[in-house]
Structure 1
Amino acid sequence: MSRGRVPLRHSLVTRLLVTSVLIAIAATAATAWLAASTATRAIRQEQGRSLTEDKGVYDMLVGYAATHADWSGAPALIRARSAKLGRRITLMTADRVVIADSGPGPSLVAARPSATVDPLNLDLALTGGTERIDERAVGPFRLPAGERAELRKIAEDQLSCVRRIGSDGRINELPNGRPALTVNGPDKVTAACATKMPALTRAEAKPLGKLGALVTRCAGPPPGYELGVWPDFSTYVQKVDPADLKDPEVAPALSPRELFDLGNKRATARIRGCVEKSRRAVLQPYVAPPALLFVTDPDTGSDQTRFTLSRQNTIRIVTTTGGVLLATILITVLVGRRLIRPLRALTDAADRQTPARVSTQDEIGRLARALNDSAERRDRAEAQRRAMVSDVAHELRTPLTNIRSWLEAAQDDLAPTDGQLLELLHEEAVLLQHIIDDLSDLSAADAGTLRIHPEPTYVRDVLVQAVDSQRAPAHAAGVGLAMEVDGDPVVSADPVRLRQMVGNLVSNGIRYTPRGGSVTVGAQGSTITVRDTGVGIAAENLPKVFDRFWRADESRSRATGGSGLGLAIVRKLADAHGGTVEVDSTPGSGTTFTIRLP
């Protein structure tokens, strides 16, 4: 199993972090959008309301200024409108002298006016129109009551005619009092009911004549022509001829554009500008002077938009916030279920004692592999335990059975209790003690309590002692023993345990070497080798040679095959010294064991 760190891209921490960041970003973005959207909508609503209020106040005061020569009657209008809107309304001159104020409040000397009230120069942003002069400013152009009645009678006769024909219409009165008939039908109906409507009345002739003279001086038509103005302030051209001036209706049908095309090619826009300029000059004495309008908050004196959280906005915020919260919970639950699904699979696999499925490369995947490895080691250890118990029982049964048999035979007087019987019992007891000692060493090694006492040790001395202790068994087996030591090496090792390792390897070599063969013990530096010319070990069995109670030849008995624990003890002792033991073998040629000490 790999013990390296999980790559960052596969880490469960990274996935959790990315998920948390995404959820936080989504929640933050939704909240920011909600706040911005709600604030924007509320501000737009407030701006619309404020603009409507300002426009209403502006229109009211422009209407008053267009029909009055001063502001003397404005305070009453301002107070009434202020009470209705809940706003402070103030009128000031261009020099910031208060004309009218709806109530006390902060000084507005340095404040920005909401608009300038001037019926002769309208604020097109508030009116939404294109005319700079308010149509209610008529001054001397307003018809007297008598002429209005006469023109009204003519218009009503025309409407009656239209209705008799089967059509309909309506009469609208212009600001100057002149009626205008609008017919809901084809032009032929209007022509059939056309009644002589004077283009100019006596009352209109004088002020419009004065206005025409001003326009003529301003526009400068070619010599011999002058401009006239109709009641709707459109212009016409006529020659300078007293006979024609007595009856303006017979003026030549020459438009201003045609006039200037014949003359100096000036644009008709100049004529419109002259009409507007001349109207201001004529109307100036009849309208109130320009005034600065302030529509402000009574407490702060500010005209800025006020943000208020309405019930509708509150419901919208609560609804959207609830939706964001619900979506966040749902995403978190889904992601959490996805993350804990492998953990549940691991739990189920552990409960059923089956291998866990490894499907990811993160910490959970590593945990699954670790659990699988642990389960494999557990199963292997369990199998080894069972095999060991069986082998121990088998190994102990033989000497114990022999001892019991000889003792029972002696009790029944079937075997003499002489020195030969005692020798046999002693041999069996020694064999039993040897097995118990080996098992004790292995148990201590497994428990981590096997103690060694390293010290500077001459390898040659240890090898001599080990070889000398095995000369008798080697002689009995017809196997030669030899030593090949390079110099006099010294290692840091426990001399007793080192002699035990070498003795076990030499004993094992003698046991598996046929008569006439040899076992050679060698040393070079910190490396010790035990080489025999025995039967060898098959390649597939090499990984098993250090297993407990394993024998290459299963038919060998305890007497001929040893306890099966010697090589296992060699490996444990080598590990305890911080070294290694390796085996290399060729079937039929022999085996070499190599001990490498640090």
Structure 2
Amino acid sequence: MRLSPRWISLLISLSISVITVVFLQFVPGADRTMMFITGSTSFLIAYLLVYYVIDVLVFQEVNKIYHSLRELKDAEISKKSIIKSVNPLKKLKNEISHYVSKKEEEIDTLKKMETFRREFLADVSHDLKTPIFAAQGFIHTLLDGAIEDPEVSHKFLKKAAKSLDGLEVLVKDILILTQVESGDIRMHFEPIDLKEVVEEVFEQLESKAKKRDIRLYIKTKDPLLVNADRLRISQVLTNLVSNGITYGKPGGKVTVTIKGTEVKVADNGIGISEEHLPRVFERFYRVDKSRSRAVGGTGLGLAIVKHILNAHDASIDVISKLGEGTTFTFTLSKPENSL
């Protein structure tokens, strides 16, 4: 039964009337006429008074609050659930508390995004400024007369070209990350052999690994097919293996282990402290900024990895200990016709 103001008033008034009539039965000289008149009068007065209090002071105010909340476009508060509630004020209070909690979470998210935006702008400005200023300095030096010396001009041009190459890599990574995040890059899913992709990545990074005296290993059994975008998964593995080489210890190793559809990329390098692990996939986040910039890289590799795997409905986990190394793990799906 819906507890509307009328029903509540009727029940309370009827209770008061019954109690009054019962009480009059114990009063000497009270006849039935008196009890009927007294009972009817008490019922009517109580009904009007209770109805006024409940309807005007409670339900109408609840309706006003409800309509005020309805002006907020994202407020999901049901009028029926409030009015039909045994305690509409408590129900409304709970709904408002839920709405406020939701807004507080959104505000916290916006604050984090604002902080992230400031950090992103600061990092990208720094990373763009460094190669631009370096190339600019070399070119201006050449224009000021150094170009007359063939040996000096060749040396400065090589340095300027290297700075501009680094700038090109940074811009490409930013473009790729933006396209992946916005969904502009569509994944071309097809059955691919993971072992074959890893071997191709090793071939590309072989010279880099030799310079760092890092050995590359692959652990797997038979060729394994997964449903993925070959180019993008190759990019994921290239970034992960390249990081293992860059931050590995001389004489160390990088191992890619494929077990089922699970892929692990592990190194025995310098490792990452626990406090940095939750943020390693953020754009431009560097555990050691001075060392990271010294060895190269844009700080976008792991962010690109994360978003590519998200597009494959896969997540990536990282386990690391300082001085012992780092292991990245992700799982891809099998082709639809695979048993």
TM-score with structure 1 length normalisation?
Answer: 0.44
SS in structure 2 of the partner of residue 492 of structure 1: strand
Q: Deviations over 1:42-76 (max 9, x none)?
A: xxxxxx9xxxxxxxxxxxxxxxxxxxxxxxxxxxx
In structure 2, the residue matched to 1:21 is 3
Asked if the contact 2:13/2:44 (under 8 Å) is kept, the reply is: no
Query: 1: CA distance between counterparts of 2:172 and 2:230?
Result: 18
1:114-513 to structure 2, matched below 5 A, reads 323=49, 325-327=51-53, 328-333=55-60, 362-415=94-147, 416=149, 418-513=153-248
Asked if the contact 1:582/1:594 (under 8 Å) is kept, the reply is: yes
Q: Deviations over 1:318-338 (max 9, x none)?
A: 97775455332123246558x
Q: Deviations over 1:143-198 (max 9, x none)?
A: xxxxxxxxxxxxxxxxxxxxxxxxxxxxxxxxxxxxxxxxxxxxxxxxxxxxxxxx
Query: 1: CA distance between counterparts of 2:242 and 2:301?
Result: 9
1:578 corresponds, among 310, 313, 316, to: 313
Query: 2: CA distance between counterparts of 1:393 and 1:368?
Result: 37
Amino acid across the alignment from 1:26: I
SS in structure 2 of the partner of residue 514 of structure 1: coil
* C-alpha deviation, 1:396, in angstroms: 0.6
Query: 2: CA distance between counterparts of 1:412 and 1:444?
Result: 41
1:39-78 to structure 2, matched below 5 A, reads none
SS in structure 1 of the partner of residue 146 of structure 2: coil
* C-alpha deviation, 1:503, in angstroms: 0.3
Change (3 A) 1:454 1:361: farther
Amino acid across the alignment from 1:596: T
Amino acid across the alignment from 2:96: I
Change (3 A) 1:413 1:372: same
Asked if the contact 1:512/1:535 (under 8 Å) is kept, the reply is: yes
Q: Which runs of 5+ in 1 are unaligned?
A: 1-17, 37-47, 49-314, 347-358
Amino acid across the alignment from 1:383: T
In structure 2, the residue matched to 1:538 is 273
Tell which structure's C-alpha radius of gyration is larger: 1
Asked if the contact 1:551/1:561 (under 8 Å) is kept, the reply is: no
Asked if the contact 1:481/1:518 (under 8 Å) is kept, the reply is: yes
Change (3 A) 1:557 1:401: farther
Amino acid across the alignment from 1:388: F
Query: 1: CA distance between counterparts of 2:7 and 2:318?
Result: 62
* C-alpha deviation, 1:578, in angstroms: 0.7
* C-alpha deviation, 1:366, in angstroms: 2.8
Asked if the contact 2:13/2:42 (under 8 Å) is kept, the reply is: no
Change (3 A) 1:524 1:30: closer
1:538-577 to structure 2, matched below 5 A, reads 538-577=273-312
Asked if the contact 2:9/2:47 (under 8 Å) is kept, the reply is: no
* C-alpha deviation, 1:383, in angstroms: 0.6
Q: Deviations over 1:370-400 (max 9, x none)?
A: 2122111111111111000000000011110
> Is 1:520 the equivalent of 2:247?
no
Change (3 A) 1:33 1:464: closer
Change (3 A) 1:361 1:535: farther
Asked if the contact 1:490/1:525 (under 8 Å) is kept, the reply is: no
SS in structure 1 of the partner of residue 115 of structure 2: helix
SS in structure 2 of the partner of residue 529 of structure 1: strand
Query: 2: CA distance between counterparts of 1:525 and 1:422?
Result: 49
Q: Relative to total residues, which structure has the larger helix share, 1 or 2?
A: 2
TM-score with structure 2 length normalisation?
Answer: 0.75
- Root-mean-square deviation over aligned CA pairs: 3.4
Q: Which runs of 5+ in 2 are unaligned?
A: 19-32, 34-40, 73-90, 334-339
Q: Percent identity?
A: 31
Amino acid across the alignment from 2:100: A
Query: 2: CA distance between counterparts of 1:26 and 1:482?
Result: 78
Query: 2: CA distance between counterparts of 1:431 and 1:414?
Result: 23
